Structures are given as C-alpha cells and as structure tokens.
Amino acid sequence: MDVINGVPQNYTTKSRNLPCYQSILLFDYIINDFLHRTDVKERARYYPVLVWWKLSSIIPLRPGEVYQLPKDCIYEKNGKFYIHIERIKNKSVRKKYSSLIIKDFEIREDVYSIIRNYIDYISEFDDTKYLFSIGSLRRTAGLRAKDEDVERLTHITMQTIYKHFKKEIIEQEYGYHMVPLGQKENENDIEEVKMGDVRHLAIINLMMMGYNPLYIMELAGHHKLNTQIGYYNHVDTFATAKSHVLKDMMKKTENNLDFKDYGSGDYVLQKKLLGASYYDLPLVFDGKGRCRSKNFPYECVYTECIFCPHFIPDRNLSREYYDALKEENGKNLETLQMELKLLMQDYTDNKRFEKVGKEIGVTLNKKILINAYQHIREEKE
C-alpha cells in the first residue's frame, strides 16, 4: 500500500478525464482483496460490479456489453478458459468500416472461476438466460425493480449496485472516501471511477504492453484505427505514474537485496557468488553498475545495461546520463508515433503494425524505467 500512496496525483488531459493512477490502483486493490476474503454468498450483492471490473480492466468492454452477458458466456477449451461477449456498436458505423470485431476472449482461470461460482450460485433460484437477470439481482442485491418487464441488468440498476459497493465496501468497510475527479487531497481519498473509464484503462494498458494496434482496434471494437491516437495523452500520463510505482518498488528491493539465490556463474566468473555481497558481482557498463545474472554475459540482449532486470546501477550515475537517455528515448517515441500515424493511412501492412506497436510498448517501458531511476536519484540529492 505504501507503493500506491507514493504515486503523484495530478492527471488531467485534453481528452477524456480519467481518475488518477493512485485511485485506480487503490480501487483494484480493494476489488481483489474483497474477492480474496469473501465467498460467493457474501459478495453476491455486488457481483455485477466485481465482474465488470475484472473483465473490463483486461478487455476493453463497454459497460452495456457486461450488462447483457448471457449465463452461458464462459467456456473451457483445451485447458484454456474463454468468455463470449456480444459487442455493441452503432449500426451505421458497422456498415462503413469492415474491421473484424473479436467476440471470444481468453481469460485467466481465476476470472473464469469468479463467474462460474456465481452461475452455480444463482442457478438454484434463477432460470433466465442472463448472467445478471433482474430476478436474481432482486434476491442477491435486494433490488426493487420498478419495471416488471425488464429482464436483465440495466445501466440504472448497475449504478444503484455500484453506489452500494462504494458506500458499503470502499467507504464503510475499507475506510476510504470517494471524491470527484481532481479533488483527491490525501491518501484515503479515491477519485470517482466511472463505468466507462475502465474500458479506456484497458486500451491504455494494451498500448503500453506493445500490442499490435490492429489487434487493439479489434479487441476494443473500434472501426477506425485513428481512434487510438486520442489515447496517447493518457499513455504518457500513466507512464509517468507507473514510474513512481516502479521507483518505490525498486527502493524496497534495493534495501533488501539478497544474492544467496544466485549460483556460482561457473563458466564465466570462475568464482563463487553464493552469499556474496554487491561488490562480488561483476562490474558492467564501463563500471557504472553490476550484473546479478547467473549466466553473464551470455544472456545479454539489451543495448543499454540500465534496461536489463539483472542490472544494479551504481548510486553515482550522473544526472547528465539519465537526461541524455531520456531525450534519446523521447525522440524515438515521437518517431514511432509518427510512423504509426502514417501506417494508419493503409491497414494492409500487419507485420509493420505489429513491429511498431511492440517498439512503442518497449519505448514506453524504457521511459518508465528511466524516470524511476531519475526519481530515486533526485530523492537522494
């Protein structure tokens, strides 16, 4: 939780306003902790909220696509787990653009189990085709539906359940306070996470992970590739926020370095490292740090040691070095984004899209790492 609280809080962009990254991390922590320590009966009242978050944070779904999920939406095939989701999009837009829209998604086993447990639970008293039928929600969530003709979860009903979750779980049980966007003042405040926000967060994460922009378009149900351009404002903001999270994680690791799990490096170091201190590790990067790889230098694949997970930088790496690295990485990112815009004029070069998407993801993660190292250095000055 200390790592979460260290994240800066100022996140405004020219496009859709999203809650600050710290609030998103806190919200995710509460959801996962609540799922971990409750059984299906205890959490039944809030199940639509829990499923919405677990699905939409990894698959860029529109809220309505969660509301209309059928009870038989999940299935297992060849040891893997999937969910079938009918996508929602304006029909006139569908006619204009012919891009493939993905409807079947592979999901983790834990997400599958969360949904499976709920299906088994409501099957005792609900025989409708929907996962979240009004009938079952009347019983599990204590809802009083005004319209008897409504068969499944609606946006208004979902907002009611979400309101209960925020008040009863986030505020009363976990002790946090929900506040409007931009009004977070202390670590116990969580900025409002709207239903439509999570879809955008999933798209941003896919971009930062280096997925093919064409695949992201299909996954998100977009019909125009240039829709993704609007997300780059958020990508830059969230990369900055993630660098603060990484900084705090690195500081914790640095304070508890333990090399006893590293082998002897028999073929390279010709010396035992078992139980060795930092100074027994091999110097690399012209003496600017040390490498804790078991197989140095045979597994070196990075052009700069600083981007390698085995590298431990010297505390005295200069500010000028980080500034130069940051400037070079920034120029590379601008070039890649420009190339992506040019590629968007022609959707046919899938391999090039895949390569550029991957390079953008790598460059963004380099930015996160460079910023994290810079933050650590600045705190020590």
> How crowded is residue 49: how many other Cβ atoms within 10 Å of its Cβ?
23
Buried b (16+ CB within 10 A) or exposed e, 355-377: bbbebbbbbbbbbbbbbbbbbbb
CA distance 249 to 115: 32
Q: CATH 1.10.443.10 in the chain, residues?
A: 38-175
DSSP state of 297: T
The answer to whether the peptide bond before residue 19 is cis (omega within 30 degrees of 0) is no
Q: How many residues does the chain have?
A: 381
One-letter amino acid for residue 366 of the chain: K
Number of other CB atoms surrounding residue 20 within 10 Å? 23
pTM exceeds 0.75, yes or no: no
Where b means 16+ CB within 10 Å and e means fewer, 135-160 reads bbbeebbebeeeeeeeebbbeebbeb
CA dihedral for 21, 26, 32, 34, sign (positive or negative): negative
Distance CA 158, CA 243 (A): 34
Q: Tell me which DSSP letter residue 374 carries.
A: H
Burial string for 268-298 (b: 16+ CB within 10 Å, else e) reads: ebeeebeebeeeebbebbeebbbbbbbebee
Separation of alpha carbons 87 and 173, rounded Å: 35
C-alpha closest to that of 242 among 361, 369, 107, 111? 369
214: closest CA among 95, 125, 344, 327?
A: 344
pLDDT tens-place values along the chain, 381 residues long: 543 444 444 444 345 688 887 888 889 889 999 999 999 999 999 999 999 999 998 888 889 999 999 999 999 999 999 999 988 764 444 444 445 567 888 899 999 999 999 999 999 898 889 999 998 998 888 877 555 667 899 999 999 999 999 999 999 999 999 999 888 888 889 999 998 888 888 888 888 888 888 888 878 777 777 777 777 767 777 777 778 777 776 666 553 334 333 332 222 222 233 334 556 677 777 777 788 887 887 778 777 788 887 887 776 677 888 888 889 988 998 898 888 888 877 767 788 888 888 888 888 888 888 888 888 777 766
> Using CA atoms, how far apart are residues 357 and 60, in angstroms rounded to an integer?
17
Report how far apart, in Å, the C-alpha atoms of 250 and of each of 244, 245, 312, 363 are. Answer: 10, 9, 10, 19
- 130 strand-pairing partners: 70
- Phi and psi torsions of 284, nearest 5°: -140, 175
pLDDT at 131: 95
Architecture of domain 38-175: Orthogonal Bundle (1.10)
Per-residue model confidence (pLDDT) at position 31: 94
pLDDT at 88: 77
DSSP assignments along 226-258, one per residue: GGGGGGHHHHHHHHHHHHHHHHHHHHHHHTT--
Sequence-distant (6+) residues with CB within 8 A of 272 are: 264
**pLDDT at position 172:** 96
